[in-house]
Amino acid sequence: MPERSRPRRPARSATRPSDRARQGDPARLAAYTLLRAVDDGAYANLELPNVLRRNRIGGRDAAFATELAFGTIRWQGLYDRFIAVAADRPVDRLDPGVRDALRLGAHQLFGMRVPQHAAADQTVALARQVNGAGAAGLVNAVMRRLSERSREDWVTAVVTEADPVTALAARESHPEWVVRALRQALLGHGASSAESVSADLARLVEVDNVPPRVALVARPGLATVDELVDGGADPSVLSRVGAVLPHGDPSLIPSVRDGRAAVQDEGSQLVALALAAATTSVLGPAAGRWLDLCAGPGGKAGLLAGLAVQAGADLVAEEVVPHRADLVRQSLRAAVAAARAAGRTVQIRTGDGRLVGTDEPAAYERVLVDAPCTGLGSLRRRPEARWRRQPSDLAELGPLQRDLLASALAATAVGGVVGYATCSPHLSETTFVVRDTVKRRDDVEIADARPLFTASDGSPVTDLGDGPFAQLWPHLHGTDGMFFALLRKVDPVAAR
């Protein structure tokens, strides 16, 4: 968490004007480059490795650039309020490059242990390098004004809303609609009561601003948790196939580098493990056939592939976007080879999951629908999502989610199961989708998913809600906010 109360004096460079840096240092320039790429539509977690590689940045400089860029993106909503006062103009009237330089400077002042004079000097130098001498003068003046108050004093000055949810959203740098949706989700999933929801909501959005741990998965049949531990990780408490890397670069671990293990949130691991653990009673050609209906970029498919082979089953991984399907192929290269050696198949296809139910009716025993969603459960990991997503996205995603779930159910044989998952607790993407779909059918039952969530020692994972659905939370479980529903395909005649 950032330092919230530190006495401030106006930032003054410790060097003479003639000796001050004329260019920003490489780590800060990399952070700036990432912010500009994100502003153009890039995903921070995907673009960061490219930026670091192009600029030949590693080690401590890479860690600094990562913390600076990701922290700035998380807190930009609050920092923009500070900057607007210090610059005496709305931030949307600033040149985008100048605005991003100031955001980076603000995070160094208020969210990192960077000395004031270094934050000011380096931010001005960066602005001079990327925006010109005129911009440097403006940035210098704004940085001096920003440094005149502590973070807490700035928050007191700019967060004046009376409504507690509105004020919380401003103070913790979230769009208000996101915070209100999370409040409804806490109540709707049974994670909070009317009495506890305010405190629970505050904790949840605070945790959204804490960088997540690097979680790893040892893909069954390809790697072991012991290999990850030998690489410096600690065994996961939540996932029997998981580990947590407290520090360092995961790509330096051999099993991660060659695709036998991977970076994957523990919540995503639990979802795949839950689907694999569900009981089925499928007979005939569909038995032993598993489907990942929305497989890109391949994380859950990689775990399911190993679990399928261990169970003597085959896996089809379907992805509609060609470049994401290529990512699945790359991620599952080792799994495909291992399946072939075991006499099983792991097939990656490019296709529209909404058509599978029509094209392959009753063809699968287990189907995972990891549906496209707003991603409100992964705001720690994808900081730009909170600013990029809008309430209007729900109107587009809702029909798609329902269509994919309906297709998955049609593709599932009687006695089989469908796991519906989202990385969002939003009620419109979770319980509403499932219940709306099920009430239109007489061949589906909702099963209690919670008993399928077991920790690495075999004990039940707690705080999953009132059921029958399972909802994970960043502030309760330390995972992404994964939702999971288990639907069982039944004979409609026998069910009457």
Q: Please name each of the domains of the chain with its CATH number.
A: 17-153 (1.10.940.10), 159-208 (no CATH), 267-495 (3.40.50.150)
463: left (phi over 0), alpha (psi -120 to 50) or beta: left
CA 138 to chain centre: 35
Residue 112 has pLDDT above 70, yes or no: yes
| Encoded tokens for 248 | 């360092």
Mean pLDDT for the chain overall:
94
Residue 23 has pLDDT above 60, yes or no: yes
- Residues making up the chain, counted from first to last: 496
Average pLDDT over residues 401-424: 98
Give strand ranges (E) for 219-294. 234-235, 242-245, 261-263, 289-292
Binned at pLDDT 50, 70 and 90, residue 13 comes out as very low
For the purposes of burial, counting CB atoms within 10 Å of the CB of 105, is it exposed (0-12), middle (13-18) or buried (19 or more)? buried
Binned at pLDDT 50, 70 and 90, residue 494 comes out as low
**Residue 253 · residue 228 · CB < 8 Å:** yes
Residue 335 has pLDDT above 50, yes or no: yes
Given this model, what pLDDT does residue 492 score?
84
| Encoded tokens for 319 | 């992805």
Q: Which of 215, 209, 256, 255 is nearest to 237 (CA)?
A: 215
Given this model, what pLDDT does residue 138 score?
96
The model's pLDDT over 50-87, given as tens digits with 9 standing for 90+, comes to: 999 999 999 999 999 999 999 999 999 999 999 999 99
Given this model, what pLDDT does residue 4 score?
45
Average pLDDT over residues 3-21: 47
| Range name among 5-14, 96-105, 244-253, 294-303 with the lowest pLDDT average | 5-14
Token pair 């009673």 is at which residue? 281
Q: Which of 53, 30, 52, 43 is nearest to 130 (CA)?
A: 30
Predicted model pTM: 0.92
Which stretches within 88-163 are classed as H helix?
96-110, 116-131, 133-146, 151-158
Given this model, what pLDDT does residue 493 score?
75
288: left (phi over 0), alpha (psi -120 to 50) or beta: left
Average pLDDT over residues 139-166: 97
Average pLDDT over residues 439-458: 97
Is 423 an annotated catalytic residue? Answer: yes
The model's pLDDT over 452-462, given as tens digits with 9 standing for 90+, comes to: 999 999 999 99
Q: How far from each other are the two terminal CA atoms of the chain, in whole angstroms?
A: 55
Residue 7 has pLDDT above 80, yes or no: no
Pairing mode, if any, of strands 261-263 and 314-319? unpaired
Given this model, what pLDDT does residue 18 score?
42
Given this model, what pLDDT does residue 21 score?
55
pLDDT, greater one: 173 or 16: 173
Binned at pLDDT 50, 70 and 90, residue 3 comes out as very low
Given this model, what pLDDT does residue 15 score?
45
**Residue 495 · residue 414 · CB < 8 Å:** no
**Of 423, 447, 472, 482, which residue is the catalytic one?**
423
Q: Return the DSSP state at 88.
A: T
Given this model, what pLDDT does residue 313 score?
98
Residue 14 has pLDDT above 50, yes or no: no
CA 309 to chain centre: 28
Q: Which of 350, 267, 275, 265 is nearest to 305 (CA)?
A: 275
Q: Which of 196, 205, 210 is nearest to 166 (CA)?
A: 205
